[in-house]
Chains A and B, each alone.
Chain A
Amino acid sequence: MKPTDISNPDFFHSVVDCQWACPAHTNVPEYIRLIAQGRYDDAYMVNRVSNVFPGILGRTCDRPCEPACRRSRVDGNPVAICRLKRVASDLKGDITERLPKPAQSKNGKRIACVGAGPASLTVANDLLPLGYEVVVFESEAKPGGLMRSNIPSFRLPEEVLDSEIANIVDLGAEMRYSTEVTSLKELVSSGFDAVFIGSGAPRGKDLEIDGRRAGGEDRIHIGINWLQSVAFGHISEIGKRVLVIGVGNTAMDCCRTARRLGGKDVKIMARRPREYFKASPWELEDAEEEGIEIIVNHAPKRFVIEDGRLVGMEFEIVKWNEGATRSEVLDTVVVPCDDVILAIGQENAFTWIERDSGIEFGKWDMPVVDEKTMMSTLPGVFFGGDAAFGPKNIIWAVAHGHEAAISIDNYCQGKQVTERPPTGMNLASQKMGLSEWSYHNDYNPSPRQKMSHVELSKRFADLSLEVELGFSAEQTAREVERCLNCDIEPVFRAPLCIECDACIDICPVQCLTMVEDKDDELDLRRYLTAPADNLDEPLYVSSKLAQTGRIMVKDENICVHCGLCAERCPTAAWNMEKFVLQLSYAGTSNNKGK
């Protein structure tokens, strides 16, 4: 086997599962340790560097980090990473001094951003301090994009949204609200050095079946448009019986919003069984807790209109084969209702981009965008967020924004957009004394803490009453200790090893093995002390050991970073070292990490 190259930042990064899974590569274990120490400002700033909106994401993130979390492989439940982020945001003090500063002088370059959602705001956040002039065009009267219009205020309070956006706008962005961009050609030719399109996926899909245009249109709503109208105060009530068609997170938001606007009997109508729902499990749970009924295997057939009024909807009751690829109709049923909300997906709408503008459109009529540089086929025009590759979520929009900002900076400074600043790393020993470490190395058996919610009876009175109460001090203290500190790596230096077996004997999860060298990884895995079922986590393989020529192998699957291998090592061949990934952003010097 080839020894693992730990000087490549990707290796240790890939075993910090949460950070690796986060599109913006937020340094999760570091901020959790800071929360544990009560250093909320520092925890917030560690977040902000990568994900820009810790307060917003701490409530709304899709949490790609949590399914990846090593803790879930140890006791079945990941660390509540997302809600700890909220703790940092809620408890922070005044961080104004630590935010990026407006540029002292402008560099003369003008950037246009279309849409004031998370992608455009991230671009502004990264480019304004470098001296760029950033003009943001927003069709609505307030910034935030789908963060404002699509996420109900009982999940994301307006103050949180406003303050995190203000931190960016205050860097000197020129905000043009209520200004719809109608022509890309016109925009490009109006004196901008680069254009960033972060206009989202603003069009909700319609359901063109019988009865759709037969008089009941006023009671048939497109989910995201309806949520937007609620967010901007244009709609404040709904009928008592509401059917929501769709199984994604937007459908859940529609249901819960409907409950607050007067809906008493709100149902999710789903074509397929529950395991095929797109909504995050926790959003589904929250909806059910509020009395939303979920009805599966009902395929919409027609809207039932009587006397020009919507009175119900007819469904086919279907039975699916295994894998839910084919269905047969068993029966039909009419479900009476006052309103129907359609939340069956979103699409992009680039009606304002002329097809001869130089931007090539590909599959699904989506612009062709480079996944690394975020540049379209028209040099100087960049995409990000849902506008780039279709609906994803906020954290992806932020990641796109960072990458696009690097490209825009390169583009404006006459460099190749493909020239990416290097990713650096740092490894620093955490030894503070004999059997003493800079971090809390003991394994804490606490179960995942449950988020408390506002009582059901109080919830529906006020649309803006935030449902989740956040973690209490006690819950926070327990939850932070569940983190396994995956960034504090046992690092092995083969020449120091005397092959005494001490590390192998002490390891509580049997992840270490000394074995004769093998040719390939699958073969090697058969010889491990406790072969893992999970083959996704890499093996950390040493060079040959001096005395017997064997190799030291560490299976990264369930190491709990207790540091006992290093404490038991008589020669410090094992040592606990903190891995810090040094990410580059627009304006980072290219010499870093070299």
Chain B
Amino acid sequence: MPSIRKPLIPLAPHATNALGLTVRDYEGAMSTLCAGCGHDSITAALVQTFYELDMPPEKIAKLSGIGCSSKTPTYFVSGAHGFNSVHGRMPPIVTGANAANKNNIYIGISGDGDSLSIGTGHFVHAIRKNINMVYIIENNGVYGLTKGQFSPTADVGSTTKRGVPNEVPPIDPVELALSLGASFVARSFSGDKRQLIPILKAAVEHHGFAMIDVISPCIQFNNHQGSTKSYKYIREHEINEIDSVFLRSSSEITAELPADSRVSVTMHDGSILMFRTLPENYDPRDRTAAMNYVHEAKAKGEVPTGLLYIDREIPDIHDLNDTTEEPLINIPFQKLCPGRNALLKFQESFQ
């Protein structure tokens, strides 16, 4: 842990966003993770994302389970709501919070163990219900907090720090999410904020479940020669063919509109997600194509990154249940729970 808090230096003139906040206003407590942990870079990307999106801190809710990854909500946007749940149980807590107040931006932060071991069941059902949230898996292939055992995302043949190879096949969160019909599936790398930040922005604006598998090397237990989740391995095997930009305001859109953009998707708030480069014959709105692409790349030992699949049409949990326009939290209790007489009357209608 650092010896001091990150000092607040009064730099003038300090850049501010539309809310008059500086990027420092989106920071949280000092990280107590290991020096060089990929999770801290993801935190920094989130800080930058919310700053650039002019997001009011009080509109953000950060939720997590257990693990190194699940400590990170503490390290960004101290002015946001937060909930640190039981191991693997972040998705149901978000579901509940989202049911009560659909106007918040829900950021769920999980890890490969939290989401794909103990919490797989909840993860899967959150995708099915298309909960409107950003779901980040800080994926390092290892149980760092318990000193380096293989996690469910460890590749066959990759080794522990001591050299023992893994023989159990992994769960690939991207393939899992695609096969379950998730509405927004991306993979990125903590060491590449130029890719990660636009994806995060699109995920925040996406209406539905946005899953981002962020490979985030564990500096302590999984950054060695036998690892397939080290900084070096990812840099050597990452394929970065899908390059997307997220354009928010109309001025940004006219300024940056590239003539050769292949596909653009208008998000529900009017902002535009544009793909500048894509692999040959690839359409990020075609689920089968995305699944094939991921399968083929994997067979070649490559790690495809980018915003791999997006579907704007899938209804989220509120659409499916036809909930009120007004978030439930804003509806007076009397109206939400009209009492025994109203219930009896309602039951009578079934007789």
Contact = CB atoms under 8 A, between A and B. Distances in A.
Interface of A: 74-76, 435-437, 441-443, 445, 498-502, 504-506, 508-509, 547-548, 558, 560, 562-564, 567-571
Given A498-B232, A500-B191, A74 B9 contact: yes
B9 A498 contact: no
B41 A505 contact: yes
B3 A568 contact: no
Given A74-B11, A509-B11, A547 B235 contact: yes
Of listed A499, A500, A571, residue having the most chain B CB within 10 A? A500
Given A506-B6, A568-B2, A500 B38 contact: yes
Contacts of B8: 443, 445, 508
Given A74-B11, A501-B190, A502-B41, A564 B4 contact: yes
Contacts of A74: 9-11
9 contacts: A443-B4, A500-B217, A500-B219, A504-B44, A505-B41, A506-B40, A547-B235, A564-B2, A568-B40
Interface string B216-234: 0101000100000001100
B40 A560 contact: no
A570 B43 CA distance: 17
A221 to B, nearest CB: 46
Given A443-B9, A568-B35, A570-B219, A502 B2 contact: no
Contacts of A567: 2-3, 35
Given A435-B2, A436-B3, A502-B36, 18 more contacts: A437-B3, A499-B235, A500-B217, A501-B40, A501-B44, A502-B35, A502-B41, A505-B40, A505-B41, A508-B7, A509-B9, A547-B231, A562-B6, A568-B2, A568-B40, A569-B35, A570-B219, A571-B36
Nearest to A505: B44
A508 B24 CA distance: 9
Interface string B237-257: 000000000000000000000
A435 B223 CA distance: 22
A500 B11 contact: no
A501 B232 contact: no
A499 B230 CA distance: 11
Interface residues of B, number: 29
A562 B2 CA distance: 10
A437 B231 CA distance: 28
A570 B31 CA distance: 14
Of listed B6, B8, B34, B41, residue having the most chain A CB within 10 A? B6
Nearest to B13: A533
Interface string B79-123: 000000000000000000000000000000000000000000000
A436 to B, nearest CB: 6
Determine the main DSSP class of A at the interface with B.
Answer: loop
A571 B223 CA distance: 12
B276 interface: no
Nearest to B44: A505
Contacts of A445: 8, 10
| Cβ-closest 6 pairs across A and B | A570-B36, A443-B7, A505-B44, A435-B3, A442-B4, A501-B41
Contacts of A560: 7, 9
B35 A501 contact: no
B17 to A, nearest CB: 15
A504 to B, nearest CB: 8
A552 to B, nearest CB: 14
Contacts of B191: 499-501
A506 B1 CA distance: 12
Contacts of A75: 10
Interface in B25-59: 34-38, 40-41, 43-44
B193 interface: yes
A66 B35 CA distance: 36
A184 to B, nearest CB: 55
Contacts of A571: 36
Nearest to A73: B11
Determine the main DSSP class of B at the interface with A.
Answer: loop
Interface in B183-242: 190-191, 193, 217, 219, 223, 231-232, 235
A514 to B, nearest CB: 10
Nearest to A436: B3
B138 to A, nearest CB: 14
B197 to A, nearest CB: 12
A224 B242 CA distance: 77
Contacts of B36: 498, 500, 502, 568-571
Given A435-B3, A570-B219, A508 B9 contact: yes
B140 to A, nearest CB: 12
A570 B6 CA distance: 17
B161 to A, nearest CB: 14
B32 to A, nearest CB: 11
B4 A441 contact: yes
A442 B7 contact: yes
Nearest to B4: A442
A560 B8 CA distance: 11
Contacts of B40: 501-502, 505-506, 568
Contacts of A569: 35-36
Contacts of B4: 441-443, 562, 564
Nearest to A533: B13
Nearest to B12: A76
A509 B8 CA distance: 9
A74 B9 CA distance: 7
A442 B64 CA distance: 31
Given A499-B231, A502-B35, A558-B11, A441 B41 contact: no
A500 B231 contact: yes
Given A502-B36, A571-B36, A435 B1 contact: yes
B34 A570 contact: yes
A499 B193 CA distance: 12
B36 to A, nearest CB: 3
Contacts of A76: 12
B312 to A, nearest CB: 32
B2 A506 contact: yes
Of listed B7, B219, B232, residue having the most chain A CB within 10 A? B7
A506 B75 CA distance: 12
A564 B6 contact: yes
Nearest to B24: A508
A218 B37 CA distance: 80
A53 B217 CA distance: 56
A548 B240 CA distance: 14
Given A509-B11, A568-B35, A570-B36, A500 B2 contact: no
Nearest to B223: A498
Nearest to A506: B6
Contacts of A508: 6-9
A437 B3 CA distance: 9
A75 B12 CA distance: 8
Interface string B295-320: 00000000000000000000000000
Contacts of A506: 2, 6, 40
A568 B4 CA distance: 11
Nearest to A501: B41
A561 to B, nearest CB: 11
Contacts of B7: 442-443, 508, 560, 562
A553 to B, nearest CB: 16
Of listed B9, B12, B35, B219, residue having the most chain A CB within 10 A? B35
